[in-house]
């Protein structure tokens, strides 16, 4: 098993909040460039209503391009985000390899994001996850707003653990902690991870941090020191949830790669190709992007 697994979410979480819709042809080009980096997992879209999130309207088309035309190499997994049963059905039809789905620990965020309460969403997501697993798919379930909420502020850890306990009861051990509002700080991250591992030592934890308060990389380092080996990040530091109070970019992939490569933990992902893609993305959007490393090359 690799020391670190990077799940690149820029094509989904990175682009979903943008006002300008990236043409499908450009997305295909960027995905091909991501594949060339050697990154482990690429999330290329979400199955949401095209009116609510127009930047994701071509997700089905993108998956069909890469899964039905024989253009995707075997050493990368293509993931997609689903919110409901219809999204799962669409994803199964067009060849999603790994389904990501989750529940917000914040009632306010849950209702704004999915139209459901946390309890309702948990029941539906678990049923969807089981269905996807029965269809032979990889599944990752998440707790969103796991470290705080832009609407509600502090989220008690017990609320997060209660959702995770229900995942464990359903036999699901691939869990993502999503810092949707970017409110996490290292000591909080360490305590959360310790608590989850104490509940089930076989858990496979992924961490998804946003950099709202500039602590994204520090939180990744704290998570690594507590045993986490799976991280979600976005090239150029793009992104943010459009259904939270203050959308802020993800941890930047090339910045995170720089950290882990200096620690001699990642050797087979091409940092230079990520930097080139970040520069290309900056030119497309015609503005400086949140990532740091690409600006000095």
Closest by CA position to 46, among listed 9, 21, 5: 9
- Sequence-distant (6+) residues with CB within 8 A of 115 are none
Question: What CATH number has the domain bearing residue 71?
Answer: 3.20.20.70
Complete DSSP assignment for 24-39? HHHHHHHHHHHHHHT-
What pLDDT is recorded for position 1? Answer: 47
pLDDT (0 to 100) of residue 116: 86
| Cβ-proximal residues to 51 (8 Å cutoff; 6+ apart), any chain | none
Which candidate, 99, 194, 80, places its Cα nearest to that of 137? 99
With CA atoms as reference, report the closest residue to 181 among 154, 142, 156, 202: 154
Which mean pLDDT values do the consecutive 10-residue runs of the chain (297 residues) have? 88 93 98 97 96 94 90 91 96 97 91 84 96 98 94 92 98 97 96 98 97 95 98 92 63 97 95 98 95 93
The active-site residue out of 220, 241, 252, 281 is 241
Rounded CA separation 73/80 (Å): 17
Q: What is d(CA 33, CA 167) in angstroms, rounded to the nearest whole number? A: 35
Confidence at residue 242, expressed as pLDDT on a 0 to 100 scale: 57
CA pair distance 34, 281, nearest whole angstrom: 12
Determine the Cα–Cα distance for residues 2 and 254; give it in Å rounded to an integer: 18
Place of tokens 């997609």: 80
Active site residue 241: yes
- For residues 211-250, one letter each, b for 16 or more C-beta atoms within 10 angstroms of the residue's C-beta and e for the rest, the string is bbeebbbbbbebbbebebbbbbbbbbbbbbbebbeebbbb
**Cα–Cα distance between 257 and 91 in angstroms, integer?**
29
Residue 283 CA to residue 113 CA, distance in Å, equals: 30
Q: Which of 119, 76, 116, 113 is nearest to 98 (CA)?
A: 76
- The structure tokens 């678990």 sit at 126
pLDDT of residue 190: 98
pTM: 0.95
Domain that holds residue 240: 5-296
Number of domains making up the chain: 1
Distance CA 88, CA 91 (A): 5
């Amino acid at each position: 098993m690799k020391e670190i697994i990077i799940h690149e979410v820029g094509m989904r979480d990175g682009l979903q909040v943008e006002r300008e819709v990236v043409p499908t042809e450009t997305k295909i080009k960027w995905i091909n460039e991501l594949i060339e980096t050697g990154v482990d997992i690429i999330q290329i879209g979400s199955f949401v209503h095209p009116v609510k999130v127009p930047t994701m309207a071509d997700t089905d088309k993108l998956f069909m391009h890469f899964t039905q035309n024989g253009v995707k190499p075997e050493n990368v997994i293509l993931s997609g985000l689903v919110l409901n049963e219809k999204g799962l059905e669409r994803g199964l039809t067009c060849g999603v390899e790994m389904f990501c789905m989750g529940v917000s620990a914040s009632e306010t965020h849950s209702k704004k994001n999915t139209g459901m309460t946390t309890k309702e969403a948990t029941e539906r997501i678990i049923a969807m996850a089981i269905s996807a697993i029965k269809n032979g798919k990889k599944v990752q379930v998440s707790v969103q707003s796991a470290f705080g909420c832009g609407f509600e502020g502090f989220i008690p850890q017990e609320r997060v653990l209660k959702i995770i306990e229900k995942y464990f009861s359903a036999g699901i051990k691939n869990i993502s902690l999503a810092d949707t509002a970017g409110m996490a700080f290292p000591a909080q991250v360490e305590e959360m991870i310790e608590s989850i591992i104490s509940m089930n030592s076989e858990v496979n934890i992924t961490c998804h941090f946003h950099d709202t308060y500039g602590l994204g990389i520090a939180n990744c380092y704290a998570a690594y020191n507590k045993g986490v080996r799976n991280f979600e990040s976005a090239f150029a530091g793009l992104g943010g949830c459009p259904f939270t109070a203050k959308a802020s970019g993800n941890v930047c992939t090339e910045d995170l790669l720089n950290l882990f490569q200096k620690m001699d933990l990642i050797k087979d992902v091409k940092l230079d190709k990520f930097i080139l893609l970040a520069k290309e993305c900056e030119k497309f959007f015609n503005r400086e992007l949140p990532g740091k490393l690409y600006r000095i090359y």
